[in-house]
Structure 1
Amino acid sequence: MTLLIVGATGTLGRQVARRAIDEGYKVRCLVRSTKKAAFLKEWGAELVRGDLCDPQTLPEALEGVNAVIDAATSRATDSLTIKQVDWEGQVALIQAAKAANVERFIFFSILDAEKYPEVPLMEIKRCTELFLAESGLNYTIIKLAGFMQGLIGQYGIPILENQPVWVTGNSSPIAYMDTQDIAKFAIRALSVPETEKQAFPVVGTRAWSAEEIISLCERLSAKEARVTRMPINLLRTVRRVIRFFQWGWNVADRLEFTEVLASGRPLNASMDETYKVFGLDPQQTTTLESYLQEYFSRIMKKLKELDYEKNKTKKDKSKKAAFKQSSKANSQ
């Protein structure tokens, strides 16, 4: 089976590609830059230059493809807006996949998207789910809450570097999941008929609030966090102001997502039925504790090694200086 993975250079997409290759699928990746995607080629994937926002590039990429796994989404640093990538681009991809007679289409959405119609990304995800369901394609929708990988930059690194950790509003508990585990579900969906034309929550073992994650990071790193609370009303004001400028539209849309993160409402769901349908063992799902423990163990070990090398260099320099002084004194 030949897979086309869209968004394969992203945090989730690269894990989907890695998993598919390891399981023996023929993997093709739609990429805007072959240079940035060179690591995918090294893994064994075929690279096809194309862009969701350029529909003319999609038919060629879909030639001979049996299934599409769509992990694409806009990034805050992109010049393109959420509407251009997550709506117009996704619609173009779904239509092109339908025209190419693709057998399966796996789409990543966000859990509870229908509950936040005022948040652009959530509303667009909801609309894309509906468009995909009505397209006639044989689809599976996987609804996510959050990635564990994102917590490293948000909490881990700032705590280690004694930088501020930002917390907004009433922190919503979120069931973060390791992207490697998410990839496992995505690839399994291709071979399980019961997942066809269905939507499933795929979330972590439990929901964690920002305060709980900070406390866990403090314990694992033996460092105290510098927590800075950002009032939600201040963010709302900033969002309204930057909407007056075209360059701020994408940032403003992203800031809207803080309404989800700071609502206090948990982003979580029962996984009992999902594990049953997919035939996967919940005991093999990575917990947030084990994920962060492994991260901090590696980092603390590296820091100790660097500190050891630094002290060793200082000692060597001191010995050389002492030797030079002794030699100078003897010569006199």
Structure 2
Amino acid sequence: MTNAPLTVLVVGATGSIGRLVVAESIARGHTTRALVRDAGTARHRLPAEAQLAVGDVTRPETLPQALAGVDAVVLTLGSHGGAHSSPENVDYAGVRNVLAALSGQRPRIVLMTAIGVTARGSAYDHLLDWKRRSERLVRASGLPYTIVRPGWFDMNAPDERRPVFLQGDTRRSGSPSDGVIAREDIAQVLVQALTAPEAVTRTFELVAEHGPAPRDLGPLFAALEQDAPGALDAVRDEDNMPLSQEPQRVRDDLDAVRALAGA
């Protein structure tokens, strides 16, 4: 795992995971830029060492300046309901808008989605389907990426701190029985993925089991299978979301991202 410091942009920086990612990134020596909608409000919620970049993922024109010169982007987007903050506008289009605003830059991308993201016909389809589509955009981008699908936040016991990486997204009950993980541990995995060469082109579910957290996640990343080149879905994922049945606007977005990758 390389220790070279990076310039990192955290998108979703004031959220419950994003704030911890900012702090973890700073602690690891990275120059850390937080994308925020309101600098005055955010300053009280983030470490003093964080650089603030004012922007909004639902307003594409605000993103190029925030992305200028970055080596890596961590996306921890989460919608909160309503027309402005719907899963389509934030969890999906927010990722699309960030990718489109890179203007030829090729940063490392780390995207957080959710365990069970490939489930169909569940009560969470309105969220999970858009998160899965955001994953497809990242894979289509041609950028070096890692996609992390954490379990249920902070429902772990105090001694459940040993991270376990899974693939195939087979735990899809939509309940904590799928797996639990501390928010702090999610942030550590997201940030360590930025500098672990073994993490590139890997997609995995993240849960915790009994035991302590290891200092080096490199062996866990290395044990994962890589996503197939050119594939829209992760290795071992069920093929249950045919592209031919996707909304035309989603297929158009994939074509646009692929075109940017080939530019």
* Deviation for aligned residue 1:171: 5.8
Whole-angstrom CA distance in 2 between matches of 1:196 and 1:107: 12
Partner of 2:259: none
Partner of 1:268: none
Would you say 1:187 and 2:155 are equivalent positions? no
The answer (yes or no) to whether the contact 1:63–1:100 under 8 Å persists in 2 is: no
Amino acid aligned to 2:142: G
Name the structure 2 match of 1:143: 149
Kept after mapping to 2: 8 A contact 1:8/1:14:
yes
- Which of residues 103, 110, 125 in structure 2 aligns to 1:106? 110
Give the 3 Å change call, closer, same or farther, for CA 23–172 of structure 1 in structure 2: closer
Amino acid in structure 1 at the alignment position of 2:139: A
Structure 2 match to 1:132:
138
User: In structure 2, what is the equivalent of residue 203 of structure 1?
Assistant: 207
Matched, 1:22 2:27: yes
1:123 equivalent in alignment to 2:145: no
Q: Could you say what secondary structure the match of 1:29 adopts?
A: strand
Does the CA contact (< 8 Å) of 2:23 and 2:47 recur in 1? no
- Normalized per residue, which structure has more strand? 2
Q: Note if 1:96 corresponds to 2:39.
A: no
Gaps of 5+ in 1: 152-168, 207-273, 280-332
Unaligned runs of 5+ in 2: 1-5, 158-172, 211-216, 223-263
Quote the Cα distance in structure 2 between the aligned partners of 1:138 and 1:23: 20
> Aligned runs of 1:1-332 on 2, under 5 Å?
1-39=6-44, 42-76=47-81, 79-97=84-102, 99-116=103-120, 119-148=125-154, 173-205=177-209, 276-278=219-221
Please state whether the residue corresponding to 1:140 is helix, strand or coil: strand
SS in 1 for 2:22: helix
Shift of 1:40: 5.2
Cα distance in structure 2, aligned partners of 1:185 and 1:170: 22
Distance 1:27 1:277 in 2: 25
Helix, strand or coil at the partner of 2:184: helix
Structure showing greater Rg: 1
**Contact 1:139 / 1:198 at 8 angstroms: preserved in 2?**
yes
**Could you tell me the TM-score, scaled by structure 1's length?**
0.54
**What is the TM-score with the length of structure 2 in the denominator?**
0.67
Change over 3 Å in CA distance of 1:20–1:129 after alignment to 2: same
CA contact (8 A) 2:152 2:176 kept: no
Instruction: String of CA shifts for 1:237-288, please: whole Å, max 9, x gaps.
Output: xxxxxxxxxxxxxxxxxxxxxxxxxxxxxxxxxxxxx773348xxxxxxxxx
CA drift of 1:172 comes to: 5.4
Report the AA paired with residue 24 of structure 1.
G
Q: Report if aligned partners of 2:156, 2:181 keep a CA contact under 8 Å in 1.
A: no
Q: Measured at CA, do residues 205 and 2 of structure 1 come closer, stay the same or move farther in structure 2, by a change above 3 Å?
A: same
Contact 2:156 2:208 in 1 (8 A): no
Q: Distance in 1 between matches of 2:132 and 2:196?
A: 24
Q: Secondary structure at the match of 2:44?
A: helix
Does the aligned pair in 2 maintain the 1:31–1:49 contact within 8 Å?
A: yes
Q: Which runs of 4+ in 1 moved over 4 A?
A: 169-172
Task: Give 1:179 shift.
Answer: 1.0
Change (3 A) 1:275 1:103: closer
> Which residue is 1:301 aligned to?
none
Instruction: Give the deviation of 1:77 after TM superposition.
Output: 6.9
Q: 1:12/1:45 Cα in 2 relative to 1: closer, same or farther (>3 Å)?
A: same
Displacement of 1:201: 1.6
CA deviations 1:143-186 (Å, max 9, x no partner) are: 112211799xxxxxxxxxxxxxxxxx996514221111111111
> Quick one: distance in 2 between partners of 1:87 and 1:110?
13
Helix, strand or coil at the partner of 1:36: helix
Partner of 1:296: none
